[in-house]
Amino acid sequence: MEPIKVGLLGFGTVGSGTFTVLRRNQEEIKRRAGRGIEISRIAVRTPSKVKGAEGIGITTDFNAVVDDPSIDIVAEMIGGTGVARDLVLRAIANGKHIVTANKALLAVHGSEIFEAASKKGVMVAFEAAVAGGIPIIKALREGLTANRIEYIAGIINGTTNYILSEMRDRGLDFATALKAAQDLGYAEADPTFDIEGVDAAHKVTLMSAIAFGVPVQFDRAYVEGISKLDAIDIRYAENLGYRIKLLGIARRTEKGIELRTHPTLIPEKRLLANVEGAMNAVVVHGDAVGTTLYYGKGAGAEPTASAVVADLVDVTRLHTADPEHRVPHLAFQHDSLANTPILPIEEVTSSYYLRLRVADVTGVLANITRILADKAISIDALLQKESEHVDGEDKGETDIILITHETVEKEINAAITQIEALSTVVSKVTKLRMEGLK
Ligand code: HSE
Strands 290-297 and 407-408: unpaired
Q: Which protein residue has the closest C-alpha to ligand 1 atom 4?
A: 299
- CB of 286 closer than 6 A to ligand 1? no
Axis crossing angle, helix 158-170 with helix 231-239, rounded to the nearest 10: 70
Whether residues 249 and 275 share a domain: the answer is yes
CATH number, domain of 375, equals 3.30.70.260
Neighbours of 257 (CB within 10 A): 22
Q: Which protein residue has the closest C-alpha to ligand 1 atom 8?
A: 299
Q: Which residues have CB under 8 Å from 154's CB, separation 6+? A: 131, 136, 200, 203, 204, 207, 247, 248, 249, 280, 281, 282, 283
The burial of 19, by beta-carbon neighbours within 10 Å (0-12 exposed, 13-18 middle, 19 or more buried), is given as: buried
Whether residues 261 and 143 share a domain: the answer is yes
CATH number, domain of 20, equals 3.40.50.720
Q: Determine, yes or no, domain membership for 215.
A: yes
154 Cα: distance to centroid of ligand 1 (angstroms): 13
**Using an 8 Å Cβ cutoff, are 329 and 114 in contact?**
yes
- CB of 113 closer than 6 A to ligand 1? no
371 Cα: distance to centroid of ligand 1 (angstroms): 41
* Rounded Cα–Cα distance for residues 238 and 260 (Å): 23
- CB of 87 closer than 6 A to ligand 1? no
Structural domain of residue 428, as residue ranges? 348-434
pLDDT the model gives residue 362 = 85
Residue 101's nearest CA partner among 25, 43, 16 is 16
- CB of 187 closer than 6 A to ligand 1? yes
Q: Which protein residue has the closest C-alpha to ligand 1 atom 7?
A: 299
Is residue 179 part of the annotated active site? The answer reads no
295 Cα: distance to centroid of ligand 1 (angstroms): 14
Nearest atom in ligand 1 to the alpha carbon of residue 161 is 5
- CB of 186 closer than 6 A to ligand 1? yes
Q: Determine, yes or no, domain membership for 141.
A: yes
Q: Which of 203, 255, 297, 428 is catalytic?
A: 203
Q: Determine, yes or no, domain membership for 381.
A: yes
- CB of 154 closer than 6 A to ligand 1? no
Question: Using CA of residue 132, residue 134, residue 140, residue 143, what is the dihedral sign?
Answer: positive
Question: Using CA of residue 369, residue 370, residue 375, residue 378, what is the dihedral sign?
Answer: positive
Binding site: residue ranges? 9-16, 103, 188
Whether residues 276 and 165 share a domain: the answer is yes
pLDDT the model gives residue 396 = 85
204 Cα: distance to centroid of ligand 1 (angstroms): 13
Q: How many domains does the chain have?
A: 3
Q: Determine, yes or no, domain membership for 356.
A: yes
Nearest atom in ligand 1 to the alpha carbon of residue 194 is 1
pLDDT the model gives residue 388 = 67
Whether residues 68 and 81 share a domain: the answer is yes
Q: Determine, yes or no, domain membership for 388.
A: yes
Question: Using CA of residue 340, residue 346, residue 349, residue 353, what is the dihedral sign?
Answer: positive
Binding site for NADP(+): residue ranges? 9-16
Whether residues 264 and 309 share a domain: the answer is no
pLDDT the model gives residue 1 = 86
Whether residues 292 and 163 share a domain: the answer is yes
Whether residues 311 and 379 share a domain: the answer is no
* Rounded Cα–Cα distance for residues 90 and 364 (Å): 64
Residue from 137, 184, 199 to probe ligand 1 pocket by mutation (most atoms less than 8 Å from CB): 199
Q: Which residues pair with 247 in a beta bridge?
A: 262
Whether residues 239 and 374 share a domain: the answer is no
User: Please, what's the largest Cα pairwise distance for the chain?
Assistant: 84
Q: Determine, yes or no, domain membership for 288.
A: yes
- Report pLDDT digits (tens) over 281-314: 999 999 999 999 999 999 989 999 999 999 999 9
Q: Determine, yes or no, domain membership for 342.
A: no
135 Cα: distance to centroid of ligand 1 (angstroms): 15
Neighbours of 68 (CB within 10 A): 20
What is the full per-residue pLDDT of the chain (438 aa) written as tens digits?
899 999 999 999 999 999 999 999 999 999 999 999 999 999 999 999 898 888 899 999 999 999 999 999 999 999 999 999 999 999 999 999 999 999 999 999 999 999 999 999 999 999 999 999 999 999 999 999 999 999 999 999 999 999 999 999 998 888 888 888 888 877 766 799 999 999 999 999 999 999 999 999 999 999 999 999 999 999 999 999 999 999 999 999 999 999 999 999 999 999 999 999 999 999 999 999 999 999 999 998 999 999 999 999 999 999 999 998 899 999 999 889 999 999 999 999 999 999 999 998 888 899 999 999 999 999 999 988 776 666 667 778 999 999 999 999 999 999 999 999 999 999 999 999 999 998
Whether residues 292 and 170 share a domain: the answer is yes
CATH number, domain of 239, equals 3.30.360.10
Q: Determine, yes or no, domain membership for 111.
A: yes
Residue from 127, 157, 207 to probe ligand 1 pocket by mutation (most atoms less than 8 Å from CB): 157
Whether residues 323 and 244 share a domain: the answer is no
Nearest atom in ligand 1 to the alpha carbon of residue 299 is 7
pLDDT the model gives residue 386 = 73
pLDDT the model gives residue 210 = 97
Residue 36 backbone phi and psi in degrees, to 5: -65, 155
Whether residues 144 and 100 share a domain: the answer is no
Whether residues 283 and 145 share a domain: the answer is yes
128 Cα: distance to centroid of ligand 1 (angstroms): 11
